[in-house]
């Protein structure tokens, strides 16, 4: 790699997607889809987006990536954490299997991992944590999902010494849209941001590395790319470290 490549290289960022019926032009069929805000945020932060639909899941794909985003979407199936389904839980098992497998592979590879909304819940569940399936059951005043298709706004505080605080400061706000939340936090994770009512807004690993799960939707605020900028920078550093590693040199000889 040329000496100036680290300044121009755009890290390859995997993003998990939906796979379901969609329409375009005169067509309606199953398709791999993802809200464009995720792709736009990655590009604006200097990354190259690579979409990873939940079909033909291959966890070794993380070897080709510099960072991974587990995107938002449907509820996480409660069978993944040993619970019975709430009447309002709407899960997509194929996405659960896909996202959990890629999350575990990314963690094993120490790949920078940015898990958003459902993705943060996947992170917790993949490591043995559990979820509250319907927030209004325990907090009727919650406004984390104000109306179908309408984002709310959550204010939260961050923990000292965390990625969350390094990038956002001690207090911040962000768009949100979810009716589930973290319950028991998995071993190996710590809460690094929370709303005033105690709702967990960010999780990070206790073992270091760039791993951040956020319950909110930073991709919905294109004027605030601090988390995406931090993530893509971590992905660039990861790429540089792998490129310079003697182990990787031998592996590619």
| Residue 219: active-site member | yes
* Residue 21 CB neighbour total at 10 angstroms: 10
Query: Inter-axis angle of helices 93-109 and 118-126, to 10 degrees?
Result: 70
Q: Which of 117, 178, 201, 233 is catalytic?
A: 117
Q: Which of 176, 179, 201, 219 is catalytic?
A: 219
**pLDDT for res 248:** 47
**pLDDT for res 53:** 97
**pLDDT for res 7:** 60
- Best CA proximity match to 78, nearest among 104, 98, 102, 96: 96
Average pLDDT, the chain: 92
Q: Name the maximum alpha-carbon separation found in the chain.
A: 60
Q: What whole-number percentage of the chain has pLDDT above 70?
A: 94
Please give the average per-residue pLDDT across 2-14, as a whole number: 72
Domains detected in the chain:
5-251 (3.40.50.880)
Q: What is the 3-state secondary structure (H, E, C) of 119-168?
A: HHHHHHHHCCCCEECCHHHCCCCCCCCCECCECEEEEEEECCCCHHHHHH
| Residue 176: active-site member | no
Token pair in block for residue 41:
């945020």
Higher pLDDT pick, 166 / 92: 166
Q: What's the pLDDT tens digit per position in 84-104?
A: 888 888 888 999 999 999 999
**pLDDT for res 5:** 45
| Residue 250: active-site member | no
Q: What's the pLDDT tens digit per position in 178-233?
A: 999 999 999 999 999 999 999 999 999 999 899 999 999 999 999 999 999 999 99
Give the pairing of strands 181-182 and 131-132.
antiparallel
Higher pLDDT pick, 216 / 141: 216
Q: Which of 176, 201, 217, 233 is catalytic?
A: 217
Q: Is the dihedral of CA 103, 109, 110, 111 positive or negative?
A: negative
Give the pLDDT band (50/70/90) at residue 246.
Answer: low
């Amino acid at each position: 790699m040329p000496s100036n490549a680290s300044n121009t290289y755009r890290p390859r960022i995997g993003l998990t997607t939906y796979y379901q019926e969609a329409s375009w032009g005169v067509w309606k069929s199953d398709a791999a889809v993802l809200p464009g805000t995720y792709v736009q945020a990655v590009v604006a932060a200097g990354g190259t987006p690579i979409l990873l639909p939940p079909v033909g899941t291959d966890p070794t794909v993380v070897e080709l990536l510099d960072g991974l985003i587990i995107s938002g979407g449907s509820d996480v199936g409660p069978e993944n954490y040993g619970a019975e389904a709430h009447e309002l839980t709407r899960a997509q098992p194929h996405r659960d299997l896909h996202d959990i497998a890629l999350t575990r592979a990314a963690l094993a590879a120490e790949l920078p991992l940015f898990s958003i909304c459902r993705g943060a819940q996947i992170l917790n569940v993949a490591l043995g944590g559990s979820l509250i399936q319907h927030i209004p059951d325990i907090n009727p005043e919650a406004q984390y999902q104000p109306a179908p298709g309408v984002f709310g706004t959550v204010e939260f505080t961050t923990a000292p010494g965390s990625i969350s605080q390094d990038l956002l400061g001690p207090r911040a706000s962000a768009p949100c849209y979810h009716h589930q939340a973290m319950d028991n936090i998995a071993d190996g994770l710590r809460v690094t941001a929370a709303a005033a009512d105690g709702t967990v807004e960010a999780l990070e690993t206790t073992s270091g590395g760039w791993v951040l799960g956020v319950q909110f939707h930073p991709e919905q605020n294109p004027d605030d790319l601090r988390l995406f900028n931090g993530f893509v920078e971590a992905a660039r550093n990861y790429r540089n470290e792998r490129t310079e590693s003697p182990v990787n040199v031998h592996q590619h000889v």
